[in-house]
């Protein structure tokens, strides 16, 4: 039975609770949304600006609120909150780009309301800075210019000028811009730049519409508010009661809804009345409001309540405000005011906390001294003051001990080549930002860069004129009062190559020639290439007419050698060498001529062969000449013709060097000189010597035929009967005629003996032949009749 009785009661309680929740949700009202700009609507550039959105809503504190802030109809900030605190959109160090019209939209459940717009105006721009990569240049050379507007944002239009004349306009969303310009006119030119921040154009307003008069009458019902205790001073810790009710014509009071609010916080609500009780605190001082809602009509009644502090909110102070590691700092917590009517200063106790950890003992005078330490002392500090069960918290203070800058490191980036710009990096591994880096040359500052971002470094540009200038540079790092210098810049410096020379020698111990070399075949030659600059150096040797190098070598010396072990005639020509190093500047030497002559042993061999050939030719000619001379001396030709005119036959006897033949000429008579009895062949190789030479000389010197006379002696026959003897000797002349064309007209016949007309009978011829045999002449064939 008890269980059955409790069931209906539980259901009734649940129904009442749900009805109450629905009633609370239905009572939500957005009274107003106000946007303000602090400290004012028109400020200078660099001012810290805060856009505040304040919404007054009749609801319980748990209602979720959605805030949206617009600038020129563009959303710039959104925030969600379950409290009635104002929403703040901060613009630290505001720029001109932040200017515009701001509005705030507040949404709570299914209701929303927009604030009136407020215009933010900023004045003043930072002076731009122009950078150029060089101040002295040649005609037609390019110059890079960079115009920067530090810390400016937005849509920026940069303009470059030369002698007050526009060079170029560049529009960008960054704080700097670069351009390259080619200078062709000789003389001094003045360069500068400026910029403009582009904002939205002003809107054009339309004419107003027609005007209509509307009359509004007031309802005859008003709310009232009362505060207890009334007429006495209220101090923190006292009980405070506030009541709201309806006064006037209550005919339509069934539609009325009553709300009790403190600022934007709803304290209580009811249909015709409501009451709220609380323990008074100083922060509760202010305006309490009773609001009557009837449909779309709102009416208010307000009461200002002043609550005196029992003691003031403590203040936590740090001295000094900036501290480095291992330096001491002091924290002080104090409440400056307290109510003498209720307590004394000794009744107020203090405690200091770091990250919710209590640092001070129970008895604490309000001052705390501690050494700074990054690992143990950094954190969020605050303090609490207590009296008569009233506790007040100070504002929080973030303490972060700064780290002194460490010794910076300086190093080069990429190749370091004399005469060409390169970059160096300066960086400290430790040190609290901001850090100022300064490039030093021989102890004097030549450039400075402030770094304010984590893990950042300074980059400087340097150009060396000499190899040894690299050790003149250092960098200095400084944050506040701590400063350290780096070591000297130490890196490999590349000197471009110049003055390549090629020398040639056949002996490394001898001084090389830089013009030419005359060398015999089979000897070795050395091509020595020297150059001025830094190594490693790549040497290449070339021969004119060949595109590919003969030899390539990389050396850590300024000289390189290429050897040709045994030269031949093919190695004659012009040679040169080429040298390059990481500076990527090639140096080419002059040409050297190499003339390779024939080896001595080859010359001697050729001379010996020529002499041997000449000797054999001379010996052959001499032998041939002798043989031909002997043939001329021994050869005899004899022609016999019968003396009887009745005889038609002629007998010709030919005596030759080797043969003897009997020839029967035709009956017509004696043949011409071209017909010969005896014949021999002359060696053409010896035509200029011996008998053949004489004949040739005679034929060439005189076109007339040569005539030789041969004396033929006929001895007396002993047989007087058969061959009558003639008295004395009988001389017969025969004409030997050479061919006008020379001795070689007929290779078979070298000469001829004309037929001799002998006045003798045929037996006499036979007798002459017998006489010839008797005188040891070569055997002759017998004459044929």
Residue 438, classified by CB atoms within 10 Å of its CB into exposed (0-12), middle (13-18) or buried (19+), is: buried
Which structural domain range is residue 94 located in?
29-123
Which pLDDT score, from 0 to 100, does residue 394 have?
A: 92
Residues 304 and 323 occupy one common structural domain: no
Burial class (CB in 10 A: 0-12, 13-18, 19+), 599: middle
Give the burial class of 527: count Cβ atoms within 10 A of its Cβ; 0-12 exposed, 13-18 middle, 19 or more buried. buried
Residue 212 lies in a domain: no
Query: Could you tell me if 141 and 97 lie in one domain?
Result: no
Q: Which residues of the chain have pLDDT under 50?
A: 1-4, 16, 19-26, 202-209, 214, 636-785
Residue 68 phi, psi (nearest 5) = -135, 125
- Structural domain includes residue 250: yes
What is the number of other CB atoms lying within 10 angstroms of the CB of residue 232? 8
CA distance 444 to 438: 10
pLDDT the model gives residue 699: 33
Instruction: Kindly tell me the burial class for residue 556, based on how many C-beta atoms sit within 10 Å of its own C-beta (0-12, 13-18, 19 or more).
Output: exposed
Name the residue among 145, 165, 302 with its Cα closest to residue 223.
Answer: 302
210, two tokens: 């027609």
> Do residues 496 and 415 make contact, with C-beta atoms less than 8 angstroms apart?
no
Number of domains the chain contains = 7
Interatomic CA distance for residues 33 and 254, integer angstroms: 29
Asked if residue 769 and residue 636 are part of one domain, the reply reads yes
Same domain assignment for residues 693 and 572: no
Angle, helices 690-701 vs 600-634, to 10°: value is: 80
Give yes or no: residues 525 and 425 share one domain.
no
Q: Are residues 348 and 369 in the same domain?
A: yes
Token pair in block for residue 213: 């008069």
The pLDDT score that the predictor gives to residue 559 is: 94
- Say yes or no: 111 and 139 in one domain: no
Q: Determine, yes or no, domain membership for 665.
A: yes
pLDDT for position 345? 82
Give the pLDDT of residue 739.
38
Same domain assignment for residues 676 and 580? no
Give the angle subtended at the CA of 382 by the CAs of 381 and 383, to the nearest 5°: 135
Same domain? For 480 and 346 the reply is: no
Q: Looking at 659-732, which runs of residues are DSSP E strands?
A: 660-663
Cα–Cα distance, 778 to 634 (Å, whole number): 10
512 with 470, same domain? Answer: no
The pLDDT value given to residue 372: 57
Give the span between the Cα atoms of 390 and 393, in whole angstroms: 10
Question: Among 295, 298, 301, 232, which Cα is nearest to 261's?
Answer: 301
Is 7 part of any domain? no
Indicate whether 636 and 502 sit together in one domain: no
> Among candidates 294, 389, 271, 348, which has minimal Cα distance to 29?
294
Can you list the positions of beta strands (E) in 133-210?
142-148, 155-162, 165-172, 176-182, 191-198
pLDDT digit string, tens, across residues 289-345: 998 887 767 888 999 998 888 888 899 998 888 888 777 888 889 888 888 888 888
Look-up: residue for tokens 């030119």? 189
Separation of alpha carbons 210 and 203, rounded Å: 22
Predicted TM-score (pTM) of this structure? 0.39
Q: What's 546's domain CATH number?
A: 2.60.40.10
Angstrom distance (rounded) from CA 331 to CA 390:
23
C-alpha span between 66 and 79 (Å, rounded): 6
Query: Which pLDDT does position 37 carry in this prediction?
Result: 94
Angle at 538 between CA 532 and CA 544, to 5 degrees: 95
């Amino acid at each position: 039975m008890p269980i059955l009785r409790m069931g209906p009661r539980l259901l009734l309680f649940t129904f009442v609770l749900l009805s109450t929740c629905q009633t609370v949700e239905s009572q939500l009202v957005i009274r107003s949304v106000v946007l303000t700009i602090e400290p004012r609507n028109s400020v200078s550039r660099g001012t810290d600006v805060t856009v505040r959105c304040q919404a007054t809503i009749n609801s319980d504190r748990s209602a979720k609120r959605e805030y949206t802030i617009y600038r020129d109809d563009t959303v710039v900030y959104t925030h969600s909150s379950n409290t009635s605190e104002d929403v703040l959109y901060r613009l630290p160090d505001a720029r001109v780009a932040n200017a515009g019209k701001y509005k705030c939209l507040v949404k709570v459940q299914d209701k929303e309301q927009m604030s009136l717009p407020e215009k933010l105006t900023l004045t003043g721009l930072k002076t731009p800075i122009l950078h150029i990569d060089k101040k002295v240049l040649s005609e037609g050379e390019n110059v890079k210019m960079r115009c920067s507007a530090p810390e400016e944002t937005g849509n920026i239009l940069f303009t470059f000028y030369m002698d007050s004349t526009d060079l170029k306009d560049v529009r960008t969303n960054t704080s700097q811009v670069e351009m390259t310009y080619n200078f062709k006119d000789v003389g001094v030119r003045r360069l500068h730049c400026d910029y403009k921040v582009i904002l939205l154009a002003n809107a054009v307003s339309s004419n107003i519409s027609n005007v209509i008069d509307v009359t509004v009458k007031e309802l005859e019902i008003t709310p009232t508010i009362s505060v207890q205790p009334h007429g006495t001073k209220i101090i923190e810790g006292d009980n405070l009661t506030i009541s709201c009710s309806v006064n006037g014509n209550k005919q339509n009071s069934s539609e009325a809804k009553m709300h009790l609010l403190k600022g934007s916080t709803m304290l209580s609500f009811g249909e015709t009345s409501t009451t709220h009780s609380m323990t008074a605190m100083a922060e509760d001082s202010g305006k309490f409001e009773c609001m009557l809602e009837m449909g779309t009509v709102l009416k208010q009644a307000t009461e200002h309540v002043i609550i005196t502090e029992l003691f003031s909110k403590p203040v936590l102070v740090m001295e000094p405000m900036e501290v480095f590691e291992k330096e001491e700092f002091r924290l002080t917590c104090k409440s400056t005011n307290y109510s003498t009517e209720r307590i004394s200063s000794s009744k107020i106790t203090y405690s200091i906390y770091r990250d919710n950890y209590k640092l001070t003992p129970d008895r604490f005078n309000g001052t705390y001294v501690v050494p700074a330490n990054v690992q143990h002392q950094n954190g969020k500090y605050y303090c609490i003051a207590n009296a008569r069960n009233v506790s007040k918290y100070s504002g929080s203070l973030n303490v972060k001990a700064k780290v002194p800058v460490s010794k910076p490191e300086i190093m080069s980036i990429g190749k370091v080549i004399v005469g060409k710009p390169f970059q160096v990096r300066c960086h400290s591994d430790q040190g609290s930002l901001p850090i100022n880096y300064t490039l030093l040359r021989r102890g004097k500052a030549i450039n400075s860069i402030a770094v304010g971002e984590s893990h950042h470094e300074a980059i400087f540009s340097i150009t060396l004129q000499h190899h040894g200038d690299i050790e003149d540079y250092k960098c200095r790092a400084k944050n506040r009062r701590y400063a350290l210098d780096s070591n000297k810049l130490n890196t490999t410096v590349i000197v471009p190559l110049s003055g390549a020379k090629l020398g040639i020698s056949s002996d490394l111990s001898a001084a090389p020639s830089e013009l030419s070399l005359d060398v015999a075949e089979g000897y070795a030659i050395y091509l020595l290439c020297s150059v001025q600059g830094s190594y490693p150096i790549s040497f290449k040797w070339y021969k004119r007419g060949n595109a590919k190098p003969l030899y390539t070598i990389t050396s850590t010396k300024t000289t390189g050698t290429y050897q040709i072990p045994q030269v031949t005639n093919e190695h004659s020509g012009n040679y040169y060498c080429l040298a390059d190093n990481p500076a990527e500047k090639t140096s080419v030497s002059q040409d050297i001529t190499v003339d390779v002559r024939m080896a001595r042993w080859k010359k001697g061999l050729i001379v010996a062969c020529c002499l041997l050939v000449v000797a054999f030719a001379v010996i052959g000619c001499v032998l041939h000449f002798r043989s031909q001379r002997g043939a001329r001396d021994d050869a005899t030709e004899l022609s016999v013709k019968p003396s009887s005119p009745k005889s038609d036959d002629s007998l010709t006897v030919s005596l030759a060097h080797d043969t003897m033949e009997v020839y029967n000429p035709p009956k017509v008579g004696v043949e011409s000189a071209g017909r010969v009895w005896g014949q021999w062949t002359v060696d053409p190789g010896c035509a200029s010597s011996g008998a053949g030479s004489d004949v040739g000389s005679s034929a060439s010197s005189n076109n007339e035929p040569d005539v030789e006379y041969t004396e033929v002696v006929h001895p007396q026959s002993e047989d007087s009967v058969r061959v009558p003897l003639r008295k004395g000797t009988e001389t017969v002349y025969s004409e030997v005629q050479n061919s006008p064309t020379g001795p070689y007209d007929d290779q078979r016949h070298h000469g001829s003996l004309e037929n001799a007309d002998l006045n003798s009978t045929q037996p006499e011829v036979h007798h002459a032949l017998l006489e010839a045999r008797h005188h040891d002449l070569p055997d002759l064939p017998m004459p044929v009749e």
